[in-house]
Amino acid sequence: MATDVTGGISAVDEETWARLAADAEPDAAHGYLRFRERLEPGDALLVTADDDRGPVAAIHAVTAVAGTGLFSHPWKLLTEEQFLRLTPDDDATRIRAEHRALLGALGSDAPESGDLAEWLTTTLGEPLVVRTYDRSPLFTAADVDIARRRQAGREVVAALQELVRQGRAGAVVLPYVAADDELLPELLETAGFVRGSVTAASALHLAGYPTYQAFLDGQNAEIRRNYRLAEREVTRAGLQVREVPLADHVDRIVDLEARTGERNGAAPNRPQLRAARAYLAAVLPDAIRVAVAGRSDAEVLACTVQMYGRHGCCTLGYGSDYDVTGTSVAYHHLVFGQPVESCIRAGVPRYRLGFEAFAPKFRRGARVAKREFWLWTPDERRRESFARLLRFLDERTTGHLAAYVR
């Protein structure tokens, strides 16, 4: 079996990639990975292990750089205070000090304040990150037996480690490995990776519900009330909800998403966001849907951008025109009720809700599943230091997630 390292997903055509992703989640699609490469500022690469018919296993990765967002940058995940999960009952001073001491063990001259993620990059180098929407997957060919897939996966992981040894990156990080992944945890553990957890992903499981009403009937009274309340708020505001093609409404969708980002303290790059949305509409025309709310068929006051596949759906963005009174009430229906109903109509068994914000998702029936953060760097002592840091963060995460276990 031959191992190959290329400069991103475009090195493999869609037909070839379909061997690995034809029956997978929507974020395994060739077009989605191309979209992520445009979204992420770092360099992308694709590692494959091939037989005479094409790839048997593959991992897609991007180097995290200073401009990389929080959930795509492991050093930011490990250093941000939000992942300490502090509560009013905690001894915050002690927990912060312990966190800082664990970080300090990773290298000398850790700053007392400032950007610790930048310090980690200076100390270790840029991490090579494996991430799609809310997973860190190993893609494997379904038409190959498990032993061959395991062998191919082992070779792909070894190739990633070799890139780090060669100085192409400071570490290999898979921050969102699903605990029930068939192959990856075993392969990573055998290869010497260390692990912990800093967050979880939420999803609504919809298989077995023939209609939206059946889904609501299957929930407890509180969850059912939350969905119905959101519907009533939309009706009272005089809003109509419908689906529109992204390509026909790119400018308005981008404007609404940017307004929402600005309202929440972000500084979205509108031209970059527009280019990303236009590209998404072009490369995944059949997978992308946009649900909008307005007071007429011609008006778009709030929206969600959704991506569909055979086995799942996820929302990629939300936007609202906050200058119009009452528009904000559309949020809960556009993010929860409408996609659930749309998924059920399409026969999609799972609606993936991404990371964090566990409480509102839990109140609408979502299951929360912890993601495993796996890391490897060639320095054994530094790996041990990372292992201690990850155990500490895992303990904080596990305690926080206890409130969201069904």
Bridge partners (DSSP) of residue 293 are 241, 302
Rounded to whole angstroms, the Cα distance separating 245 from 284 reads 12
Q: Domain 2-68+121-199+369-404 sits in which CATH superfamily?
A: Gcn5-related N-acetyltransferase (GNAT) (3.40.630.30)
Question: What does the alpha-carbon distance between residue 401 and residue 84 come to, in Å, rounded to a whole number?
Answer: 12
pLDDT, residue 326, reads: 77
Q: Which CATH superfamily is domain 207-348 in?
A: Gcn5-related N-acetyltransferase (GNAT) (3.40.630.30)
Q: For 247, which DSSP code?
A: G
DSSP code for 72 = G
Token pair, residue 52, equals 């005479």
- How confident is the chain (406 residues) per 10-residue block, as mean pLDDT? 93 90 82 90 95 92 94 96 96 96 91 88 96 95 93 97 96 96 96 98 96 97 97 94 95 96 90 92 93 94 94 94 85 96 95 96 96 97 97 97 90
Domains 2-68+121-199+369-404 and 207-348 share a fold: yes
**CA dist 145 → 39, 55, 72, 140, 148 (Å):** 34, 13, 32, 10, 6
Question: What span, in angstroms and rounded, lies between the C-alpha atoms of 277 and 254?
Answer: 7
Q: For 257-322, give the secondary structure using H, E and C.
A: HHHHHHHCCCCCCHHHHHHHHHHHHHHCCCCEEEEEEECCCCCCCEEEEEEECCCCEEEEEEEECC
Predicted confidence at residue 177, as pLDDT, reads 98
CA 278 to chain centre: 20
Question: Helices 92-104 and 380-401 sit at what angle, rounded to 10 degrees?
Answer: 150
**DSSP secondary structure letters along 114-170:** S-HHHHHHHHH-PEEE--SSS--PPEE-TTS-HHHHHHHHHHHHHHHHHHHHTTS-S
- Cβ-in-10-Å burial (0-12, 13-18, 19+) of 274 comes to middle
**DSSP states of 318-366:** EEE-TTSTTGGGGHHIIIIIHHHHHHHHHT--EEEEEES-HHHHHTTT-
CA distance 185 to 65: 26
3-state class (DSSP) for residue 60: strand
Q: How far apart are CA 256 and CA 88, in angstroms?
A: 35
Q: What is the CA radius of gyration of the chain?
A: 22
CA distance 111 to 121: 13
The pLDDT of residue 75 is: 97
In terms of Cβ atoms closer than 10 Å to its own Cβ (0-12, 13-18, 19+), residue 86 is middle
pLDDT at position 112 is: 80
| Domain ranges for the chain | 2-68+121-199+369-404, 207-348
Q: Is 345 exposed, middle or buried (0-12, 13-18, 19+ CB in 10 A)?
A: exposed
Rounded CA gap, 288 and 278, in Å?
11
Indicate the pairing of strand 350-355 with strand 200-205: antiparallel
For residue 55, CA distances in Å to 4, 35, 103, 161 come to 9, 21, 38, 19
Q: What is the pLDDT of residue 23?
A: 66
> Would strands 194-196 and 240-244 be described as parallel, antiparallel, or unpaired?
unpaired
C-alpha–C-alpha distance, residues 262 and 274, integer Å = 15
Give the predicted TM-score (pTM) of the model.
Answer: 0.95
Evaluate whether 187 touches 172 at the Cβ level (below 8 Å): no
